[in-house]
Amino acid sequence: MDWSFGTALFILDWAIRLAALLWIPSRTSPAAARSWMRLLVGFVPLLGLPLYLLLGHPWLSRERVLRQARASDVIREEQRPLSALRWMPPGGAAAEMAPLIERQGAFMPTHGNAVQLLDDYDISLRALLDDIGAAKQQVHLLYYLMFDDAVGDAVTDALCAAVQRGVACRMLLDAVGAKRGLRRYRARLRAAGVDVHELLPGGLRWRRSGRMDLRNHRKIAVIDNVVGFVGSQNLASATFVPGHPNRELVARVQGPVVSHLEAVFASDWYIETGERLAVQPACDVQPPDVAAQLVPSGPAYPFENARDTVNALIHLARHRIVLTTPYFVPDDATLSALRIAALSGVDVQLVLSATNNQTLTAWAQQSYYEELLACGVKIALYRPHFLHAKHLTVDDDIALVGSINLDIRSFALNAEIGLVCYGPDVVSRIRAVEADYLAHADTVDAAAWRARPGWQRSREGIARLADSLM
């Protein structure tokens, strides 16, 4: 090697290391920064620094962040005259949670909502299609995944028929999650008059979006500003991943919270297209008068709203908390919250799926079991289906249902949505669903888990190194 070239390479190598030392820790959590510094930048700086710039920091374009801030300001302003709809927490955990959620996500808690829980995959889909079929004014759909299968066909048919009746139909689909659905249905939907846009597009447009692997993971439907759907179920058949038939939980809602779901859709529409949609400020109050509040989250917000909500709920639990998720790769704060709750005497039950469609995630997930079991957290693995539902219940007071997984991707990288319900009504109904999970689940035994072979421990540890990408 020529001496001058070698000197230049040596200087460049150390220049990248020093630049990374100054840049990465200021824009990344300490744990993630250490991983990037050790794994890539420290070993192969010429490769590591470009990879970090692409994947190391959950950045969005400045315009998208500004549009989210503007949308949140509009939401706060338009709620001010609606004091009659505001629910005032009587005390306890709700009195602490409601202000936190409102300050972060802009939505106040409202009374007068009706919440129907749909635990059957086909019934949930049928309810959505029936409501689209009955729409008179507008249909707004925002989904992470739309597959090119019988469900995609049915949804497309329903939207095309609605347009023919004079209904305004708009659709937002994630550019990656709904890639197959967009490829198959976009031209037909647009030709019929459905306004379709992809969220966070990649390719040559990625710099106008943000980090290449940021995704909009929400699942929302709003029909005529009267009925809304929010939960874990995508626009796909239950068996769209062979060998992993999904089990989901969806909330069909009526009441003031529907207009808040509409505002989330309008915000994402504005962020993606620059077009502002008119949102009706409220819906009619509905029996049985459930108090509810939305938790929107994602990298466009200044804080990690989903993570903060989940962790606050864990810390506020006094007797029992049940957490159901298909993907469990927590950050340090969530792991600490679970440990403290269990050691404080709270009955902490984690319900996971015995099968998983993400092998690397499953291995990383298993690396947390031993620590959790040691401090008293119970872990159940549901057998019959791939449990894709995402919800939690705290004591008899609070329930959270939505698209939020208990992993770093949902907390920091994805746009997510959660519906918080206050009071025993919804909690007791979700408890019945949780009881069914547990009746068909295997409990992870601490002693047996500690006896697992060393190669499995190594596999889990290596998979865990990629936690910030999962």
pLDDT at 402 over 60: yes
For residue 325, give both structure tokens: 């998720």
- Residue boundaries of the structural domains of the chain: 3-52, 62-99+106-292, 305-469
Give the per-residue pLDDT at 227: 97
Each residue of 316-345: pLDDT tens digit?
999 999 999 999 999 999 999 999 999 999
Are 67 and 75 a contacting pair, CB within 8 Å? no
Asked, colleague to colleague, whether 62-99+106-292 and 305-469 share their fold, the answer is: yes
pLDDT band of 199, cuts 50, 70, 90: very high
pLDDT at 45 over 60: no
The length of the chain, given as a count of residues: 470
pLDDT at 43 over 70: no
- Higher-pLDDT residue of 402 and 205 is 402
Residue 290: which of 131, 434, 87 has the closest Cα?
Answer: 87
Q: What DSSP element (H or E) covers 46?
A: helix 45-55
For range 380-386, the mean pLDDT:
97
Each residue of 409-433: pLDDT tens digit?
999 999 999 999 999 999 999 999 9
pLDDT at 21 over 60: no
Residue 255: which of 463, 110, 437 has the closest Cα?
Answer: 110
Residue 184: which of 237, 137, 148 has the closest Cα?
Answer: 148
Q: Which amino acid is at 240?
A: F
Query: Domain 62-99+106-292 adopts which CATH fold?
Result: Endonuclease; Chain A (3.30.870)
Query: Helix, strand, or coil here: 45?
Result: helix
For residue 235, give both structure tokens: 């626009």
- Higher-pLDDT residue of 57 and 42 is 57
Query: Helix, strand, or coil here: 340?
Result: helix
Each residue of 205-242: pLDDT tens digit?
555 677 778 899 999 999 999 999 999 999 999 999 88
For range 155-170, the mean pLDDT:
98
Q: Which residue has the tokens 């015995």?
A: 354
Query: Domain 305-469 adopts which CATH fold?
Result: Endonuclease; Chain A (3.30.870)
Are 128 and 154 a contacting pair, CB within 8 Å? no
Exposure of 24 by Cβ count < 10 A (0-12 exposed, 13-18 middle, 19+ buried)?
buried
Give the per-residue pLDDT at 3: 56
* Predicted structure pTM score: 0.90
Give the per-residue pLDDT at 290: 97
Under DSSP, the state recorded for 206 is G
